Structure 1
Amino acid sequence: MCIPFAGILLCIAVMPLVAPAWWERHQPIVVGIWSLLFLIPFAVVNGAGASVQSALECLVDDYLTFIVLLFGLFCVAGNITLEGDLAGSPRVNVALLLFGTMLSSLVGTTGASMLMVRPLLKMNAWRKRRRHIMVFFIFLISNIGGCLTPIGDPPLLMGFSRGVPFFWSLRLVPMLLLNVAVLLFLFYHVDMRAYRRDIAEGRKPDISGPGTQVHIRGLHNVVFLLMIVAAVILSGTLPNLPAMQDAQGQVLGLPIFGEVRLTLPAVIEIAIILLAALLSFKTTSVEVRRSNHFTWGAIQEVAVLFIGIFITMKPALMLLQAHGAELGITTPFQMFWATGALSSFLDNTPTYLVFLTTACAQGFTSGVNTTLGVVPVQMLEAISCGAVFMGANTYIGNAPNFMVKSISDENGIRMPSFFGYMLWSLGFLVPVFLLDSLIFFL
């Protein structure tokens, strides 16, 4: 039953290379076929009701809030534009990547990615060699930068809702600083080489005026961005309030089918995010979106592909939940790589939760107290870093990865293929992660 999950990943990797036009037109059909190839055998083995419930669990419990959050951030960030004559040079690009990386822990990796991707694309529009800029953008802003707060990345929010203190993840500052320093050093030299080749070919940025002038349009949308951040925080805190629980301690919600319910905190989160997106569009001039070359293509592609990923990865997660404790993973080094490797291809939030549960079940008596048990500090650091950092290893490791790729493609940058991107991550990220594991997790 894991074959459909492998099949949909293979299609994402191969079809854009062998039949790009056909793939773009028929993505929904392919996703539907692979989803049915899981759901029908699952229904034969477990019954039609169980199959329907499995699909609805994926859609209601995971996919709905996931896609609404992406949609809200995509809309609000699309109504903010950075204009001026700042040209994309290696120093400017390093500064923007550093700023975006720090921003990720404040507004989330998705929020920072959607906020920074278009300005960076604009500033480097004059350059021919740009794909490496967006690859490192995914590495840093879409993933690694989100490790310092529960707002930064969903796995940390999951830990927060299980009793991990809100500011505990600030302990990951040394890991973040090491990774950012190494990757920005490598990026600067890669970008400088490409920059010099562009200049040698006669390419020049279109800069006019006596000095550098930069201004932001649609800045009021920061208020709506903060609304979305508040909604995410509420989604992690409201389920623990007695007012949101029934007499049995279950979170209040709307029954959908069988045991599937849309929880009241999720309804509140969705309502706030959609309101923020609506107000953003109502209060921002259409000229801002035109300046951003705003289209719906990126969010549509993510919505279609990830619904299939969420449904077909169900058996893989079930296997992991059933047998994760039997894998013999007992050290921080092992936890870092096991959590990271699976987070590269599965959703990193349930993967984080599985290994957090596995660690808490080992009977430790000192460390961080959670609702699942006690987990040693170094073990929790390894699980957190593995889930957040290694989401950068593939395009599907974290949702903003694919959105940044789609927006870059729309703006004329020929991004690496699925496997091509993995070569970049193997060449640049894996050595850095090896350094992390040797310094922090041995």
Structure 2
Amino acid sequence: METIIPAWLCIPFAGLLLCIAVMPLVKATWWEKNQPLVVAMWSLLFVIPYAVKYGVGDSVETVLECVLNDYLTFIILLFGLFCVAGNITLEGDFAGSPRLNVAVLAFGTLLSSCIGTTGASMLLVRPVLKMNAWRRNKRQLMVFFIFMVSNMGGCLTPIGDPPLLMGFMRGVPFFWSLHLLPILLFNMVIILSIFYFMDRRAYRKDIARGLKPDISKPGTDFRISGLHNVIFLVMIVAAVILSGTLPNMPMFQDASGNVRGLHIFREVTLTYPAIIEIVIILLAAYLSFKTTDESIRTKNHFTWGAIQEVAVLFVGIFITMQPALMLLKSYGPNLGITKPFQMFWATGALSSFLDNTPTYLVFLTTAGTLGFTKGMVTSVGTISVKMLTAISCGAVFMGANTYIGNAPNFMVKSISDENGVRMPSFFGYIIWSLLFLVPVFIIDMLVFFI
């Protein structure tokens, strides 16, 4: 099969993204009912031409490889965290004030590196919405929640975000990412300061309208229901760690060094580490539901709508973005990107619209071929610490630029919409990121990567 595919095969991917951006604005009701049909249409518009050009076998192999080895583990992880977090509820007399919201966002940002951006997002999104349910102006809260908790906070460990897990699998030490703490703290100070003044202004408008929280005894009634589900959350985190460590163990490798698994079709194999990860996560979700009273989910306003929407849309995104990823793999090493600031922007810009894990791997591999003699020794070559820092920050930070840049972004949007928060449209959200994130990234470049 040819290594470089024609750019026109990226049209279905662009078409699907355009539908996600535009259809909720022009045909919202129709879009909600017909998302599966639209996703199927754009997916077929990629699969059929690809099959005509390269053969049915190659087309089937490409789709199976994408669905089984990328999408399946992605959606199972999201599903497991969605279920377990939905069975934990925070109750108490907490009023969403600017100071409290900043404190929660800061806590969530740091928590993301411990249980992953998806785990922290699913665990905190409903409590944050509850605390601010009395407020009318709270869109900015959920946007900055996505910025910080769903993205930037995952930069400190391989658990935090999948790209760093891939780096760990290729020889980057587990705790190396803690080197990114000064950059994260730098960004937290800037972004949370901006948020505080925005939220304070919105808070004062709400108070001026006569809105106030229904609190009889402030601070005296706080409890967490379903706390035992933390055990299942730990199970899921352990499953993610195992998925990154088991493939390197001899017992999971054949004589050629390939990871063992179930042979599906041609070169497509569902690896045993992936199967173990899936089984553990599904078991955690099942046990969470079996051991948690339904009243807790009722208090959380738990529905399946958000996970269903993400599952449908992202299977189409994963399938149709394959040509773009193939082009990136073909041209990535020849783009002339040799400086840390170039790696930061290239990795970040593409991670905003493509899966940030393969994007990270492409530029990590590219950096490994640049002939560094000092730095981090990995399985793809020696990479300077500054270069590795730029690639890591670009992949993790700039996933916040769009709703599809990182797994929890769209989930937080969907849950916020369900709870009556008028979130920005697809393009509207990008305007927010252009106004508040890109200037911070420019500062990052000047301070850390030049």
TM-score range, shorter chain: over 0.9
Structure 1 residues 156 and 210, CA gap change in structure 2 (3 angstroms): closer
Moved more, 359-368 or 374-383: 359-368
Q: Which segments of 5 or more consecutive residues in structure 2 lack a partner in the other structure?
A: 1-8
Name the SS for the 1:374 alignment partner. strand
Amino acid aligned to 2:52: V
Q: 1:44 aligned to 2:52?
A: yes
Matched letter for residue 318 of structure 1: M
Alignment partner of 1:237 out of 223, 228, 245 = 245
Q: Provide the C-alpha distance between the structure 2 equivalents of 1:24 and 1:422, rounded to a whole number of angstroms.
A: 22
Q: Deviations over 1:106-132 (max 9, x none)?
A: 000000000000000000000001111
- The match for 1:321 is 329
What pairs up with 1:103-142 in 2 under 5 angstroms? 103-142=111-150
Q: Which letter maps to 2:319?
A: I
2:65 is the counterpart of 1:57: yes
CA drift of 1:208 comes to: 1.0
CA distance in 2, matches of 1:210, 1:194: 22
Report the TM-score, using the length of structure 1 for normalisation: 0.99
| Residue of structure 1 in register with 2:422 after alignment | 414
Between Structure 1 and Structure 2, how many residues are aligned?
442
Residues 189-338 of structure 1 correspond to what in structure 2 (within 5 A)?
189-209=197-217, 211-338=219-346
SS, match of residue 216 in structure 1? strand
Aligned-partner Cα distance in 1 for 2:293–2:419? 21
- Give the CA deviation at 1:362: 1.1
Answer yes or no: is 1:344 the counterpart of 2:313: no
Sequence identity, in percent? 74
Q: Which residue in the other structure is 2:5 paired with?
A: none
Check 1:69–1:391 CA distance in 2 against 1; reply closer, same or farther (3 A cut).
same
Counterpart CA distance in 2 for 1:43 and 1:7 is 19
Which stretches in structure 1 are left out of the alignment for 5+ residues?
none
Q: 2:162 aligns with which of 154, 169, 173?
A: 154
Query: Which amino acid is the alignment partner of residue 35 of structure 1?
Result: S
Partner of 2:26: 18
Post-superposition shift, 1:210? 5.9
Q: 2-side partners of 1:9 and 1:290: how far apart? A: 33
Q: Tell me the alpha carbon deviations over residues 79-128 of structure 1, each in whole angstroms, 9 at most, x when there is no partner.
A: 00000111000011011101100100000000000000000000000000
- State the match for 2:12 in structure 1: 4
Q: CA RMSD in A?
A: 0.6
Whole-Å separation in 2 of the counterparts to 1:14 and 1:305: 14
1:29 paired residue number: 37
> Are the equivalent residues in 2 in contact too, given 1:43–1:51 (CA < 8 A)?
yes
Change (3 A) 1:137 1:373: same
**3-state DSSP class of the match of 1:34?**
helix
Report the 3-state secondary structure (helix = DSSP H, G, I; strand = E; otherwise coil) of the residue aligned with 1:220.
Answer: helix
1:144 equivalent in alignment to 2:152 = yes
Code of the aligned partner of 1:277: A
Residues 240-290 of structure 1: per-residue CA shift (max 9 Å, x gap): 000001111111100111110100000000000000000000010000000
Between the aligned partners of 1:257 and 1:12, the Cα distance in structure 2 is: 32
1:57 & 1:211 partners in 2: Cα distance? 52
Letter of the 1:327 partner, please give it. L
Partners in 2 of 1:89 and 1:206 — Cα distance?
Answer: 13
| Deviation (angstroms), 1:209 | 2.1
Conservation of the 8 A alpha-carbon contact between 2:93 and 2:218 = no
Partners of 1:117 and 1:218 in 2: CA distance: 16
SS at match of 1:114: helix
